[in-house]
């Protein structure tokens, strides 16, 4: 962990809090303006801004939370949808460090990000702001991002806490989630980042969780976040997420945003005076806000931002985030002297970021068509729009022009995707389809041009079956930020060998998604009925065919997985994977480790991602990737014990190119946690018989009463299996004292044997 809550401010913090009266303490818990906290004697204010992938600093009357008002120019790095595809924590850290510099230059102390909600359903309108469908990958990348930002002296605001996986009815919607999936899927990445990075702030979400508003959930904000995970920072509300400030402060909220909150501040004072709100809760909130302000004051520094260098970093990040989905006949990289038909309105008006509160005003914008021409000055490059995203213009004429230039070229590069009005914060998509006019254009282009490359831009998963059946090669960029044009050109012509991997599964159709029947909900409730089987976990558990699996991505070279060695360590396992570049060009391979426990005592996914590593290799070169697998990442959440549990016994560890492309597997033994719990009258015969020591006691106690193997066959039933589900109290107990005595004696013997 990189400690962020440092001791030098504690003395000043104690002194400041002791000087404040109740009114001043309460006032610190509310914003002063749209982006600023309040001041108090000894406590400065601090400023916040949107910006998971770029600073969205608004000034004066432009302030809003929907991306409507203008913001100062800032580097627009690839949003999380693309950053997730890099599978590169070191790159995420570098981007966040650059964001810290730009924040300092604009006087911003806390950047509202990263967004780490799980991509539960491909229709969620805000999926472009989130990293992955997998909590391990999400936690890995987000931890590096937070550490990179905070090492630069700017605080992070981890969001949206928690289970905020839809935009539908988001101010009221209750995410109804069982305990296991809540911990294993939706809270796990938050726990990882809190443990390993200690963000300055956490932003609570709009929605309810199991009926309780996140801003008013003591279980979420106090029991879990602070008491279980050890969070030491401030809990900030999403803008407008507080319905009852008094209840929120009592639950664990520290700062209500945005301002002006004077009426809410007064309500807090009145509640303390009436005895309905503990003064200690108000002091806790004020102290958390003051700590953040003092950290910000101590971390402020003057910087001169090199925006050219940041643009170069945005270009590098975008290049590493592009996924090569398909490349038949090695069509890519392109010949730089070829006749190239570039088609699609996105080639001249690129879709490079999402809509809403994270919308950044870029310092510059690389246009794909211009960058293709610059990268291949000896190529003959033509362009046709082919379609318009708003349906205006003569679509038939646009279509015909595109077919004509494609027919005359050696290769067609067709830019397809979704426009900003088709996916954004504030609403969910109804489907995952590409617009019909784009698919019709693709079919017409491919009919005359057998060498057709499709370049995709969208913030969420698309149904790509018709594209995969038609195009020769496919590049999936997601949303690539302001350097999207140059990064796409880099990959098209082989300056960059693509190494991105999908961070979410591409299904054959929307109906195959595990969440399909449980999204988006109704009557302000949504049931997370797929449980822990989210994303690839669900597709794998149902043995469901997919178009492109989680972790998929091709390269312009090939890699051979030569050897896998597993070693037991104090904290888990260490996997050494030997990789060889068997192709003709240098490349980067992403190594994915999955763990499986086929004999698990609980319902688990067939495999789960537990490790990620990468290696750059020249042609013919061999190298070893060492990846640590933390013991905690082998655990499941035991909803009876209320804690993480590592099961004892055999695990299979697989080194893979994707969740559906295993290369090497090895079995290993892991010592499990002690999960013994005492037998009670509600314990079943089956549970007793599953424990060897307890079984011996049970057989000795009432063995003659046990049915013999095969008993009941004449009645078409298995008496042994039927009795296995019977509680001891129903078999032995009774209303008389003697039966109760026998039951207690048996339980005593069973527990003595188990805990001996």
Peptide bond before residue 579 is cis, with ω within 30 degrees of 0? no
Q: Indicate the pLDDT class of residue 706, thresholds 50, 70 and 90.
A: low
| Dist CA 284 CA 76 (whole Å) | 36
Residues in the chain: 756
Domain boundary residue, one of 670, 696, 724: 670
pLDDT score of 593 more than 90:
yes
Place 185 in a pLDDT band, splitting at 50, 70 and 90.
very high
Tell whether the model's pLDDT for residue 4 goes beyond 50.
no
Cα(575)–Cα(593) distance, integer angstroms: 9
Same domain, 352 and 477: yes
Backbone CA torsion sign across 104, 106, 109, 112: negative
Q: From the candidates 238, 265, 366, 638, which is the catalytic residue?
A: 238
Q: How confident is the model at residue 2 (pLDDT cuts 50, 70, 90)?
A: low
> Dihedral sign, CA of 653, 657, 660, 665?
negative
- Supply the CATH number for residue 272's domain: 3.20.20.300
Same domain, 323 and 422: yes
Question: What pLDDT was estimated at residue 741?
Answer: 85
CA distance 56 to 355: 12
Give me the torsion for CA of 642, 646, 651, 656, rounded to 10°: 70
Rg (CA), the chain: 29
- At residue 392 the predicted structure's pLDDT band, cuts being 50, 70 and 90, is confident
Q: Has residue 716 got a pLDDT over 60?
A: no
User: Which ranges constitute the DSSP H helices of 337-473?
Assistant: 368-375, 395-407, 436-448, 465-468
Q: What is the mean pLDDT of the chain?
A: 94
Is residue 650 domain-shared with residue 735, that is, in the same domain?
no
The answer as to whether 310 is a domain residue is no
400 located within any domain: yes
User: Does residue 120 sit within a domain?
Assistant: yes
Tens-place pLDDT, residues 8-41: 788 999 999 999 999 999 999 999 999 999 999 9
What range does the domain containing 579 cover? Answer: 559-670
Report whether pLDDT(66) > 90. no
Q: Classify residue 53 as left (phi > 0), alpha (psi -120 to 50) or beta.
A: alpha
Query: What does the pLDDT read at residue 3?
Result: 45
- CB 8: neighbour CB atoms within 10 A? 10
- Asked if residues 406 and 341 have their Cβ atoms less than 8 Å apart, the reply is yes
Q: Which domain CATH number covers 327?
A: 3.40.50.1700
The tens digit of pLDDT for each residue in 238-297 reads 999 999 999 999 999 999 999 989 999 999 999 999 999 999 999 999 999 999 999 999
% pLDDT > 90, the chain: 83
From 670, 695, 715, give the residue that closes a domain.
Answer: 670
- Are 323 and 85 within 8 A, CB to CB? yes
Whether residues 593 and 703 share a domain: the answer is: no
Beta carbons within 8 Å of 434's beta carbon, 6+ residues apart: 416, 417, 418, 462, 463, 464, 466, 467
Q: What is the pLDDT of residue 730?
A: 82
What is the number of structural domains in the chain?
4
Indicate whether 170 and 258 sit together in one domain.
Answer: yes
pLDDT in tens, 322-346: 999 999 999 999 999 999 999 999 9
CATH number, domain at 664? 2.60.40.10
Q: How confident is the model at residue 724 (pLDDT cuts 50, 70, 90)?
A: confident
Judgement on whether residues 404 and 476 belong to the same structural domain of the protein: yes
What is the Cα–Cα distance from 117 to 131, expressed in whole angstroms?
Answer: 8
Report the run of H or E that residue 104 belongs to, with start and end. Answer: helix 89-105
Residue 400 CB neighbours (<10 A): 13
Residue 656's pLDDT band (cuts 50, 70, 90)? very high
The pLDDT value given to residue 156? 98
543 within domain boundaries = no
pLDDT band at 555 (very low <50, low <70, confident <90, very high): very high
Look at residue 309 and tell me whether its pLDDT is greater than 80: yes
For residue 720, is pLDDT > 80?
no
Residue 680 has pLDDT above 60, yes or no: yes
pLDDT (average), residues 162-183: 96
The C-alpha atoms of residue 612 and residue 590 are separated, in whole angstroms, by 7
Angle at 220 between CA 214 and CA 224, to 5 degrees: 165
Q: Is 238 a catalytic residue?
A: yes
What 3-state DSSP class applies to 421? helix
Confidence (pLDDT) at 710:
54
691 and 663 co-located in one domain:
no
3-state secondary structure of 629: strand
Q: Are 492 and 358 contained in the same domain? A: yes
Q: Is residue 552 part of a domain?
A: no
Average pLDDT value for residue range 364-376:
98
Contact between residue 503 and residue 131 where contact means Cβ atoms under 8 Å apart: yes
DSSP string covering 297-333, please? HHH-------HHHHHHHHHHHHHHH-EEEEEGGG-PS
Cα-based distances in Å from 643 to 426, 530, 592, 673 = 35, 21, 27, 11
Are 377 and 431 found together in one domain? yes
Domain end point (choices 471, 506, 521): 521
Q: How far apart are CA 649 and CA 653, in angstroms?
A: 13
Rounded Cα distance between 547 and 558, Å, is 21
- pTM for the structure as a whole: 0.94
Which pLDDT belongs to residue 522? 93
* pLDDT score recorded for residue 355: 84
Instruction: Clarify whether residues 501 and 358 are in a common domain.
Output: yes
Q: What is the C-alpha to C-alpha distance for residues 235 and 212, in angstroms, rounded to an integer?
A: 17
Q: Residue 678 domain-assigned?
A: no
695 shares a domain with 665:
no
Task: Say yes or no to pLDDT of 582 above 70.
Answer: yes
User: Mean pLDDT across the stretch 104-132?
Assistant: 97
Query: Is residue 15 situated within a structural domain?
Result: no
Q: Are residues 322 and 285 in the same domain?
A: no
Residue 232, helix vs strand vs coil: coil
Q: pLDDT tens for residues 221-249?
A: 999 999 999 999 999 999 999 999 999 99
Could you tell me the pLDDT band of residue 67, with boundaries at 50, 70 and 90? low
- pLDDT tier, 705 (very low <50, low <70, confident <90, very high otherwise): low
pLDDT of residue 59: 75
82 in a structural domain: yes
In this structure, what token pair is assigned to residue 581? Answer: 């570049």
């Amino acid at each position: 962990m990189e400690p962020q809550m440092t001791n030098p401010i504690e003395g000043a913090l104690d002194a400041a809090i002791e000087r404040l009266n109740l009114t001043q303490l309460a006032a610190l818990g509310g914003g002063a303006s749209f982006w600023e906290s309040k001041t108090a004697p000894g406590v400065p204010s601090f400023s916040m801004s949107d910006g998971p992938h770029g600073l969205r600093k608004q000034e004066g009357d432009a302030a809003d939370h929907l991306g409507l008002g203008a913001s100062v120019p800032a580097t627009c790095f690839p949003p999380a949808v693309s950053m997730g595809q890099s599978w590169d924590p070191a790159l995420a850290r570098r981007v966040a460090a650059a964001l810290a510099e730009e924040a300092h230059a604009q006087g911003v102390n806390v950047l509202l990000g990263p967004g780490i909600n799980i991509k539960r359903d491909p229709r969620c309108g805000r999926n472009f702001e989130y990293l992955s469908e997998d909590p391990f990958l999400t936690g890995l990348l987000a931890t590096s991002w937070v550490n990179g930002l905070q090492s630069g002296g700017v605080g992070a605001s981890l969001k949206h806490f928690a289970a905020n996986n839809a935009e539908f009815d988001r101010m009221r919607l209750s995410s109804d989630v069982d305990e296991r999936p809540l911990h294993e899927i939706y809270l796990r990445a938050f726990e990882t980042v809190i443990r390993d990075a200690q963000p300055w702030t956490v932003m609570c979400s709009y929605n309810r969780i199991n009926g309780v508003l996140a801003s008013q959930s003591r279980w979420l904000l106090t029991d879990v976040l602070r008491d279980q995970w050890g969070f030491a920072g401030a809990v900030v509300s999403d803008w407008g997420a507080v319905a009852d400030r008094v209840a929120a402060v009592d639950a664990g909220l520290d700062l209500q945003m945005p301002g002006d909150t004077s009426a809410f501040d007064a309500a807090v004072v009145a509640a303390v005076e009436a005895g309905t709100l503990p003064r200690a809760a108000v002091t806790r909130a004020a102290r958390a806000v003051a700590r953040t302000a003092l950290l910000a004051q101590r971390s402020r520094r003057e910087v001169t931002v090199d925006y050219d260098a940041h643009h170069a970093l945005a270009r590098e990040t975008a290049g590493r985030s592009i996924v090569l989905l398909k490349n038949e006949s090695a069509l890519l990289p392109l010949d730089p002297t070829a006749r190239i038909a570039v088609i699609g309105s996105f080639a001249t008006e690129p879709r490079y970021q999402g809509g809403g509160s994270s919308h950044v005003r870029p310092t510059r914008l690389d246009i794909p068509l211009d960058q293709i021409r610059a990268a291949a000055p000896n190529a003959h490059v033509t362009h046709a729009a082919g379609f318009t995203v708003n349906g205006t213009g003569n679509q038939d004429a646009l279509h015909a022009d595109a077919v004509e230039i494609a027919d005359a070229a050696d290769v067609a590069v067709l830019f397809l995707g979704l426009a900003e009005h088709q996916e954004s914060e504030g609403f969910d998509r109804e489907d995952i389809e590409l617009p019909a006019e784009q698919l019709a254009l693709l079919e017409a282009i491919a009919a005359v041009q057998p060498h057709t490359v499709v370049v995709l831009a969208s913030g969420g998963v698309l149904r790509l079956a018709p594209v995969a059946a038609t195009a020769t090669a496919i590049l999936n960029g997601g949303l690539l930020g302001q350097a999207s044009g140059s990064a796409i050109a880099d990959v098209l012509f082989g300056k960059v060998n693509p190494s991105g991997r999908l961070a979410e599964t591409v299904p054959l159709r929307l109906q195959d998604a595990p969440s399909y029947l449980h999204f988006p909900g109704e009557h302000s409730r949504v049931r997370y009925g797929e449980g822990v089987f989210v994303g690839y976990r669900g597709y794998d558990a149902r043995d469901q065919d997919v178009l492109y699996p989680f972790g998929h991505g091709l390269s312009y070279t090939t890699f051979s997985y030569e050897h896998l060695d597993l070693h037991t360590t104090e904290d888990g396992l260490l996997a050494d994977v030997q990789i060889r570049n068997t192709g003709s060009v240098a490349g980067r391979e992403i190594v994915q480790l999955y763990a499986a426990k086929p004999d698990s005592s609980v319902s688990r996914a067939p495999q789960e991602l537990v490790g990620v590593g990468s290696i750059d290799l020249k042609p013919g070169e061999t190298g070893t990737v060492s990846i640590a697998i933390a013991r905690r990442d082998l655990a499941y959440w035991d909803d009876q014990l209320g804690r993480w549990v590592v099961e004892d016994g055999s695990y299979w560890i697989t080194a893979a190119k994707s969740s559906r492309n295993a290369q090497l597997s090895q079995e290993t033994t892991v010592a499990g946690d002690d999960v013994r719990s005492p037998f009670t009258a509600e314990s079943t015969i089956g549970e007793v018989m599953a424990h060897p020591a307890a079984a011996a006691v049970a057989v000795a106690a009432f063995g003659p009463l046990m049915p013999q193997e095969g008993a009941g066959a004449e009645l078409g039933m298995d008496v042994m299996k039927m009795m296995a589900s019977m509680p001891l109290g129903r078999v032995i107990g009774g209303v008389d004292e003697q039966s109760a005595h026998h039951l207690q004696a048996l339980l005593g013997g069973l527990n003595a044997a188990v805990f001996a």
